[in-house]
Structure 1
Amino acid sequence: MNVMATVGEPPEMKKFSGLQRAGALMLALGQEHGAPIWQQMSNEEVKELSSTIAQLGRVPVVVVEHLLVQFSSEVSSMASLHGSFETTERLLEGILPTARVKEIMEDIRGPSGRTMWDKLSNVSETVLASYLKNEYPQTVAVILHKLKPDHAARVLAELPKDMASDVVMRMLRMDTVQKDVIQEVEQTLKSEFMTNLSRAQRRDPHEAMAEVFNALDRQTEEAMLAALEAQAPESAVRIRALMFTFEDLGKLLPTAIQTIVRNCNKRELALALKGTPEETKQLFMSGMTQRAAKLMRDDMAAMGPVRARDCEDAQASLVMLAKTLADQGEIMLVDPRSDESVIY
């Protein structure tokens, strides 16, 4: 679709490219009038135009009127149209199948690019390396083989040294990669990595608020959640579901728990474990040597009675440490919204 400049157009039109004009036109047409046009487009065309609409922002009314002269009586009362991810998704939902809308929105919300490898080139080496650390070296070799050399080099530098060496050796021995292998890797990247990345980019305000509540002491947290439940019960339920607590640390992989134990203050860990079930104590102590675990139990016994508030503060510190390690790509946290693990 190409909406070209015409004689006598308002000065504001100069700010809009042909693709942006097409996006504004489709946004103005809406579902009913735009449906026959959308249905004639290919997936790539829908993605390209949808991406443009999602980033369109404010469209001045004079531009809308110029694009839709035949409907000027209807649009002249509008102050503007506003293109966003949400309006784009609502527009497509009444036109295309749900699965297709989901695929298109995930693509345009993720890093831009027509192909998966274009998209990966727009992902920072730190984020990509954090994901690849948990993949098989052969899979990493295939992925880096498809990236641009300079980007692949930066990703390699972010990987653990032993893993990076292994990946380099596999890349050296790699012949032409079979097409079905590439397709399988692309599908995995799309379903696991890009989906989680795009979800992180369209962050729900409830997620941000869950982090705020995580940083509160237990008494204040419960008081504020109780107040929120009285005013907005649905929001309170969502925030509770998104909060990452000390109990959630028990869902982490053993290697993640070992990393937390290795990086934490041992006195703080002993205080955090004081009064927890034996199962929880054993979970953390399994990441220590037998001698260190015995010393930890001795420390807890020597503490005697401790204030519940002190234990809660120590537990909160461990949760914050876990989040910091996850941000650095050292561990994976369990996403409270699903049973899958995701990179934060």
Structure 2
Amino acid sequence: MTTALVNLTRAQKAAAILVAMGKPSASRLLKFFKQEELKALIEAARLLRTIPQGDLERIVAEFEAEFTEGAGLLDSGDQMDTIMNESLSAEEMDAIMGNGKKVAGPQGPPPVWPDLEKVEPERLGKFLASEHPQTSAVILSKLAPSVAANVLLALEKPQRGDIIRRMMSMTTVPEAATRIVENQLRTRVLSEGAKKDISVGQTRVASLLNEMDKSQLDEVMQDLEQTGVSDLDGIRARLFSFDDIPLLAQKSRVVLFDGLSTELVTLCLRGASPEITESVLSSIGARARRMIEAELGQEVDGISAAEVTKARRSVASTAIRMSLEGAFELPSTQHAA
């Protein structure tokens, strides 16, 4: 072992291996280093000189890594600068090297995660499918569990397993790495979504229409068709009223009413048609059904039509929310397919 090799620090040895790997492979690895580690690597690389091939092989063996190419290293500091400059933005380099500039500091942009949770799971899943599994794991760990679950289901099974394993073993993600991921999401997902993703607007319009009576809703939809409004199918897929309960599949009705109180269900069914009443009662347990039927068989004073309407809209809103979460499909969605 040469004297030069003995005098190399661990940071210099790590920098030598990264330079030997080349820019594509090294760039992917650099994303998983902490900020202070990246700074140490850059400073160490700038102190390196020519490393003979024999010494390089000993370094690789010491780090228990695989290395097969047989070239010595020249100008390691310059090559490390090239790798870093091509992998990170100028602001990120300044943050790592402590040059006085900070990325996404107190005056920077807000976190992307609330906006990212509004992106359709299929579109976000398509984006993650082309990313490194570790990056996908970081992103999903930042999302609400219900959102992350739907995105996972949009991925292929092998990808799901790999990402879940990485999420289980993940420790604290360095702040600098999180900022890099956030910047990429703003550029590649959210900015594109602002132009192309109209689901937020469709949901907003559908929410207004769902507050209308059936006759009013039909009239407005006819007006929209006559005026040539586009993407009406997207709005229809988000329309649902209490009167549409019989159109839901039996399994979907069971899922819907499983989490609703008997008081709310009883109030909804007051004055309902026999068809709707049976559709609801056939979707709940026998004990709850007997209780509700007993309540409906008694005359109760003091319940206004407005209270019944409010309760029915609450059930409809729950159905819409659950369908958007992927629990089941609304009848309008099924018909559109």
- Compute the TM-score of the two structures, normalised by the length of structure 1: 0.40
Larger Rg: 2
